[in-house]
Amino acid sequence: SRLRLCRGRTNPGFEAVVRSTMAFADAVQQAFAGNAETFGLVGLGWHVEFGSDIFEGVEGRESVLEGARMLSPTQRWHWGSCTKALSTTVVASLVDAGIFSSGWDTTLGDILPALSKDAADPNFAQVTLKHVAAHRSGICVDLAPEVEERLRAKAAVVGMSFVEQRAAFARELAMSTLGCKPGEGFGYSNAGFALLSAAAEVAAKKPWEELVIERLAMPLGMTSFGFGVPPRDAASGGALGHNEDGEVDETEDLPWHHASFSVHSTFHDWALFARMHLRALRGDCSALKVVGVGASSAALLHTPVSPAFLSEMSRGPEKPMSMAMGWQCLWEEPSDGKPWLAERTGILYHFGTNFRFNAGMYLCAEPPLLMLVASNSGSSLAKLAGRLALEAVIGAGKVDE
């Protein structure tokens, strides 16, 4: 969207502010719409908040199918792995409500004693909630696609509930050997977050979906929020996901990944969540109180713990780039040969994909900047386009400042 220059004012200071805002609006439009065109994306949407100004827009179509409509401004977007920040927030609310016996240090052995006893790795029982949320549990890989397909097929035949499916997933995962002792290494893991949701619903005695709705979506007023890929209807928009080759792919996400990378909402509702965390990042200790999270847990969510020592290596598919709990905190990778340790940066972000949709979320404390980007292209080029667009707006914000 573009801002219209106000007329009838003669205050030079006011007009300078308007010109600056218009220049930033143009930079936002060019960054997102320009990259969508450059990379040939099916569609792209964005939401940017810079100070008190909001810029939002969409570019492209709902699909590559003949007769596909242009994207709707009210399209519900898939969050991808930006979901992890939401999931850790829900777990934080459970921790602060006293649901877990030892808070963040509660172990899987405490919550899932039978599963932990039968696990292939004796260290499985010592994995804590904090280990899982920060990708330091030793669970460094996901289940093989054929194993997940077998679980899906069984669930369809037997008629398993989401809770039962997550329990079955957890049992399969417990048969794997950990990549390292809990807390001693980093390994990014979607499977770990699936396990986290399974543990949460056992402790809270409610399905994960109910916990998320009751503890986060409802308090924030996120009326468009849901699980899985976005539905296609008049209220939600009609965007279809597309695979790496640009072909329509209507495959649904598996329910055990609802906590890992599988929720959706409009940008308006997504921004309610992101804005709350931006306030906390900027020092508002009560920002997350609306969802039952106190100041200490809020700070813990935003504090990176990886890498924990110089030259710590990843045992998973991604580097430990100042990873906190559901967030990454280091936007620019250090130059070759320069070591770094986890420390607060004033930045929180995450990218994610289910390989049919792409998404990204970026928060910066100073100057205050909030950005959301999403695409119905699941390709690696779509992620690159989103990253480059965010970088362009970050640069424009520094110039405007």
| pLDDT single digits (tens) 337-396 | 666 788 889 999 999 999 999 999 999 999 999 999 999 999 999 999 999 999 999 999
Q: Is the pLDDT of residue 249 over 90?
A: yes
Treating both helix axes as pointing N-terminal to C-terminal, what angle do 145-158 and 162-173 enclose, rounded to 10 degrees?
150
Q: Is the pLDDT of residue 237 over 90?
A: no
4 pLDDT band (50/70/90 cuts)?
Answer: very low
* The two structure tokens encoding residue 194: 């699936």
SS3 content of the chain, % helix, strand, coil (to 5): 45, 15, 40
What does each C-alpha distance from 79 to 123, 261, 263, 356, 359 come to in angstroms? 32, 7, 6, 11, 5
* The two structure tokens encoding residue 318: 């991604």
Least confident of 1-15, 26-40, 156-170: 1-15
Cα 379 from Cα 354, distance rounded (Å): 10
Kindly write down the DSSP assignment for every residue of 8-20, as one continuous string.
Answer: S---HHHHHHHHH
332 pLDDT band (50/70/90 cuts)?
Answer: confident
**Cα–chain center distance at 305:** 18
Which pTM value belongs to this model? 0.94
Residue 57: its H or E element: strand 53-60
Cα 72 from Cα 70, distance rounded (Å): 6
What does each C-alpha distance from 64 to 28, 40, 233 come to in angstroms? 25, 11, 17
The span from the first CA to the last CA of the chain, in angstroms, equals 21
Q: Is the pLDDT of residue 10 over 80?
A: no
What torsion do the CA atoms of 96, 344, 357, 53 make, to the nearest 10 degrees?
90
Cα 229 from Cα 249, distance rounded (Å): 11
Q: What is the mean pLDDT of the chain?
A: 92
Strand partners, 59: 44
Q: What number is the average pLDDT over the span 242-267? A: 97
- Burial (CB count within 10 angstroms: exposed 0-12, middle 13-18, buried 19+), residue 109: middle
Q: Is the pLDDT of residue 159 over 80?
A: yes
13 pLDDT band (50/70/90 cuts)?
Answer: low
* Span 66-123, pLDDT tens digits: 999 999 999 999 999 999 999 999 999 999 999 999 999 999 999 999 999 999 999 9
Residue 400's pLDDT is 61
Cα 387 from Cα 391, distance rounded (Å): 6
34 pLDDT band (50/70/90 cuts)?
Answer: very high
What does each C-alpha distance from 91 to 81, 201, 265, 305 come to in angstroms? 16, 10, 20, 18
Residue 19's pLDDT is 61
CA triplet 141, 145, 147: central angle to 5 degrees?
90
Least confident of 43-47, 92-96, 322-326, 395-399: 395-399
What does each C-alpha distance from 223 to 8, 214, 218, 220, 266 come to in angstroms? 39, 12, 7, 9, 9
* Alpha-carbon radius of gyration of the chain: 21
Residue 11's pLDDT is 53
Q: Is the pLDDT of residue 158 over 80?
A: yes
* Span 126-138, pLDDT tens digits: 999 999 999 999 9
Strand partners, 78: 264
- Contact status, residue 316 vs residue 103, Cβ threshold 8 Å: no
* Span 164-214, pLDDT tens digits: 999 999 999 999 999 999 999 999 999 999 999 999 999 999 999 999 999
48 pLDDT band (50/70/90 cuts)?
Answer: very high
9 pLDDT band (50/70/90 cuts)?
Answer: very low
